[in-house]
Amino acid sequence: MATDPLRIIVFGAHPDDCDFKVGGIARLYVKKGHRVKFVSVTSGNSGHFAIGGAPLATRRRAEMAAAARLAGVEFEIFDINDGALEPTLANRLMVIRAIREFAPDIVITHRPNDYHPDHRYTSVLVQDASYMVTVPNVLPLTPHLAANPVVAYMSDDFKKPSAFTADVVVDIEPVLADRMKMLACHESQMFEWLPYNWGLTDVPSDAAARLKWVTSQFAPDNVAIARRFRATLRKLYGPARGARVKYAEALEFCEYGAPVTKKNFHTLFPFFKK
């Protein structure tokens, strides 16, 4: 367990985004005694084909709460409409306040080049909040941070204008089952909206079969990350273990945050032997 717990805050655009991209990393931090918070910058009230508005937002909040309980993380949802997020000053101030109140060591979010406008603008809002979290006269009634936290991006497959480059790749196999259970908590997405949107018709109805189905659908993403960044895994874990990692999640550092150095790397990312 951690003697001086880290604080990690993750900003996703929608209530399931944090679980999708860094659910395993978050669970590993929690198991080591660190504090993690997931923030959904929109309410997710458009992500369905049959329901929407307040009923869907309420349902997705309950799903995020269930996943957060399972993971041992805190959570917050901003009351902003899904699909309507804009990088406004008002929204930037919301992000600044959330960061300051949590006082994180690490902030994680989407990259700014992404297919979904909510993902892109969540990234822009976090980038625009970086450094401003240290300025006393911005939101003067919310105490500013003495230092800028590290900022990191969640992985993706987009190539233009630049491809994701992994600075940290973490073996999540010890918590893979937890990660899949977290995803399964988002029932409206995993078993309704995404299958509808992707044209899938083989979704089972009972809980045990659904968990197996979620694993079959999404664990291959973690296999692909491990294969894609095998060289980084070997560097971080050593050649032998790095070659064996099957399921992974990855982060890329954002230059707008505090620098990650050889001195603070292992403190911030306590998954690797020095």
Kindly provide the residue ranges of all beta strands, DSSP E only, lying in 2-41, ordered along the sequence. Answer: 7-12, 35-40
Q: Where are the domains of the chain?
A: 7-171+250-268
Q: Against a cut of 0.85, is the pTM above it?
A: yes
Order of strands, sheet of 248-253, starting from the edge strand that comes earlier in the sequence: 74-77, 35-40, 7-12, 106-109, 150-154, 248-253, 168-171
Cα separation of 244 and 148, whole Å? 36
- Along the 274 residues of the chain, how does pLDDT read in single tens digits? 456 899 999 999 999 999 999 999 999 999 999 999 999 999 999 999 999 999 999 999 999 999 999 999 999 999 999 999 999 999 999 999 999 999 999 999 999 999 999 999 999 999 999 999 999 999 999 999 999 999 999 999 999 999 999 999 999 999 999 999 999 999 999 999 999 999 998 999 999 999 999 999 999 999 999 999 999 999 999 999 999 999 999 999 999 999 999 999 999 999 998 7
93-96, long-range: CB < 8 A, 24+ apart: 93/138, 93/139, 95/11, 95/41, 95/125, 95/126, 95/128, 95/129, 96/129, 96/132, 96/133, 96/138, 96/139, 96/142
Q: In one letter, which amino acid is 70?
A: L
Quick one: fold of 7-171+250-268? Rossmann fold (3.40.50)
